[in-house]
Amino acid sequence: MIFEQIATEGCQSYLVGCEETGVAALIDPEIRQLDHYLGTAARHGLRIRYAIDTHTHADHFSAAAQLARQLNIPVAMHRASRVPFVTLALGDGEMIVVGNLRLQVLHTPGHTADSMCLLVEDRLFTGDTLLIGGTGRTDLPTGDAEALYDSLYNRVLRLDPATKVFPAHDYKGRSRSTIGQELKDNPRLQARDRAAFVEMMHNLNLTMPTHITEALRINLSGGKSVAQLLAEAAATVPFMSLAELKARIERADDDLIVLDVRERDAYEAGHIPGAQLLPRGQLELRVNDALPDPTRRILACCDFGRISTLAAATLRQMGFQRAVALDGGMKAWREAGYPIERGAQSA
């Protein structure tokens, strides 16, 4: 078995591949690591054939939908999942065949109703059902402490104690454990009585994960995160540095139109000398009047360099083939001590 564990902050993803046949499955992929997964698979001579989520994640952005689009592969989840882009719905006791490997599904509801663990040889990918020194929480959508008790005590913890545990999360840099070790050391597994376990789970008082709303929205729809939209836009436009722009302004580069895409009040409070105002919200509707010559070089700028990236990408889509974005924004421009002009746009 070819095995790679790829951590993104506290999230753990796993590439599990069959050496003999060169195919692999990716378990709990995270969106920011997409290129890393593809590179790792390529380095091992593996082709990823399945994207698998152990459950609907509320705390990170799943790359499953994107991988499915990009590689034309199925997204596998437990059939209790409400995720519409799942193309391989799995039931308890079923297996995914990855070359000569068998990934066996254990439905383990509790953290979420669609939680499952995957058993591959002596390794158990536990999702958020069993963590190292912890368990998944049960206070997020579809969580159920009673169900988690059953999943743990009647399923997972009955496996061979030597079974290696690979969770979907670890925030302390640990990469693996075993069932035996968790039975012995895991503080959440010391209350072996059902009522005590449920009461403990109900009284954890955990803070909500950051980005929970966006994560659930994306993971339940296959839609794109804000970061993804920005990354996609950034991939389609060239950038110009602050220093290059300053030098061009100083030598009065007539070829360049600096387009400030912020709102009017921000523009009037301070803009790059000679910049033309066209708020992003009005870009498409006013572009024909504001920018009559599509062959000109147009440099979009905003406060932080994000909206301007979207604006430059939109301009390129509309046929302004020399649209570029400022690498940075007005905040960095001001901090660099570069010249600022104030007031309304001169006619």
Q: Which positions lie near Fe ion, rule CB under 5 A?
A: 57, 128
Cβ proximity to Fe ion: between 143 and 328 the closer is 143
Cβ proximity to Fe ion: between 126 and 178 the closer is 126
Cβ atoms of 132 and 157 closer than 8 Å = no
Least spacing, CB of residue 136 vs Fe ion, in Å: 6
Instruction: Give residue number: closest CB to Fe ion.
Output: 128
> Which long-range CB contacts under 8 A does 90-98 form with residues at least 24 apart?
90/116, 92/116, 96/25, 96/50, 96/52, 98/16, 98/17, 98/18, 98/23, 98/24, 98/25, 98/49, 98/50
CA 92 distance to own-chain centroid: 27
CA distance 34 to 215: 16
Least spacing, CB of residue 127 vs Fe ion, in Å: 7
CA distance 188 to 170: 15
Cβ atoms of 128 and 169 closer than 8 Å = yes
* 3-class DSSP state of 127: strand
Q: How many CA atoms lie within 13 A of 302 on its CB side?
A: 18
Q: How many CA atoms lie within 13 A of 183 on its CB side?
A: 14
Least spacing, CB of residue 134 vs Fe ion, in Å: 12
Cβ proximity to Fe ion: between 143 and 305 the closer is 143
| Per-residue tokens: 196 | 């005590």
Least spacing, CB of residue 133 vs Fe ion, in Å: 16
Cβ proximity to Fe ion: between 206 and 235 the closer is 206
Least spacing, CB of residue 101 vs Fe ion, in Å: 24
Least spacing, CB of residue 144 vs Fe ion, in Å: 14
Cβ proximity to Fe ion: between 74 and 143 the closer is 143
Cβ proximity to Fe ion: between 138 and 163 the closer is 138
